[in-house]
A and B are shown apart, each in its own frame.
Chain A
């Protein structure tokens, strides 16, 4: 569906060249929700704008939906864009138009006759849950409602791809979840391919199937969301995973325990899938007669299944502790002994 080959984007500025994107290769399949995460300045905004030709790569090719977006221009590009919609962090609605007229705008661009336009607008307003607000102006809507209008507008011409440019970054956590639910729903119902960029791991965790992590213009890691969560490789990815597993805050308590109880072992367990629901701790205590002290625990729901992190201190007879660790490893629970926080 989407294929990026050897993409580089260089901006010329007074202080020399800026490499916004460096040698990126990505492949996104149809119906997938693909997330690109990175801190600001990582090049993700440029990346997403390469996908609808708002930016042109300095080198490399971008293919989206059977069109080489990086090389077409004029009418061909404008037509391609009608099938590659975009929603924005700040919604970018026309304040001069009502909700219904904002949603009708892309239909006017596509030259859809008035009668069909009105019908389609009605459907879309219902789809995004804004029934009855047809004639409201954007200034009368909340942030979440504005983004719903943005989504309805983006879906108007039945696109193949939806690009989300930090679509939830300006919303509060509750509204963020509601909008993400809506995106997930649209993805399932319409089979739409969604590409989103964000700096929040929460967003990736909640709806993405696959993720690419960007740093300084390069993709440093990519893969299945659950895999990346379970086994982050790059430092930056580990940082992002800590955002949702909450292990960042537990650092201090681990430090304290390491000082207070030098005998035991601090172990970080990562559970995936149905293992999150098994009574593993009580099994350890019964079977090996060891002390298990829970330092930190957390379960997050990802679109690929649940994902849990548990940090425990296991104390007791040295050989029993080792046996306990072996059992954990045999259960395919990822086990990591923490020597220092």
Chain B
């Protein structure tokens, strides 16, 4: 029945593209989580009245985040071509999409981390300091656990955004469902291929959101 509705879909190509999309989204989400968390924590701790309060460091980090957040992703990919080439020796393939995906998403996530950390009760931080906690203890045992639900729902939103970014990265040759929809579907006027790729992307997004919501609720003991 499916082959009747989608006559031009070649399933082996479709699954390979799905794998590529999942690979790019997965790796870039994990790296974005770590990098965004680190930048977000730096932004938080260097802001006024915090442990590392430092106007200059805060300004520089904040500016970098804002600059990379403001560049449209499709432009960012093009701007990063020399960097990617230097890093990986090529600008084609799944891995070549990763630098752009991460550099595009990490500042976005860092902002969400900052918002999450600001929501932590100041009293709890004061309590930790009054117990003689080191900064590393405060980061690992207070900041991250106490903002975990917001950090998780933030990374869910970011992962969904990254699925969209991989589709765009596909257009410059990174592969994945976006690439398939564009080259195989749009350029050859095979609407059924475009539609199928879209359906699979939608399913991926739904699953990400479902998992994200589930673990966020699990982590929230408030």
Q: Which residues of A approach B to under 8 Å, CB–CB?
A: 52, 54, 77-82, 84-86, 88, 90, 92-97, 105-106, 108-110, 137, 139, 153, 163
Contact = CB atoms under 8 A, between A and B. Distances in A.
Interface residues of B, number: 21
A54 B132 CA distance: 10
A54 B133 contact: no
A105 B145 contact: no
Contacts of A96: 145-146, 148, 219, 221
Contacts of B142: 94
A230 B126 CA distance: 38
Contact of A95 (B127, B132, B222): B222
B221 A139 contact: yes
Contacts of B219: 96
Contact of A85 (B124, B131, B134): B131
B85 interface: no
B12 interface: no
B3 interface: no
Contacts, number: 65
A109 B222 contact: no
A109 B146 contact: no
A291 to B, nearest CB: 57
Contacts of B131: 81-82, 85, 105-106, 109, 153
B130 A108 contact: no
B2 to A, nearest CB: 46
Given A81-B132, A106-B131, A109-B131, A92 B121 contact: yes
A186 B219 CA distance: 35
B19 to A, nearest CB: 36
Given A94-B124, A96-B148, A139-B222, A52 B130 contact: yes
Given A52-B130, A54-B129, A86-B127, 10 more contacts: A54-B130, A78-B132, A85-B131, A88-B123, A94-B142, A95-B222, A105-B128, A106-B131, A108-B137, A163-B130
B141 interface: yes
29 contacts: A52-B130, A54-B126, A54-B129, A54-B130, A78-B134, A81-B132, A82-B132, A84-B130, A85-B130, A86-B127, A86-B130, A88-B123, A92-B123, A92-B124, A92-B127, A93-B124, A93-B127, A94-B124, A94-B141, A94-B145, A94-B146, A96-B221, A97-B145, A105-B131, A106-B132, A109-B132, A109-B134, A110-B132, A139-B221
A95 B141 contact: no
Which of B145, B221, B222 has the most A CB atoms < 10 Å from its CB?
B221
Contacts of B129: 54, 81
A92 B222 CA distance: 13
A78 B148 contact: no
A90 B123 CA distance: 8
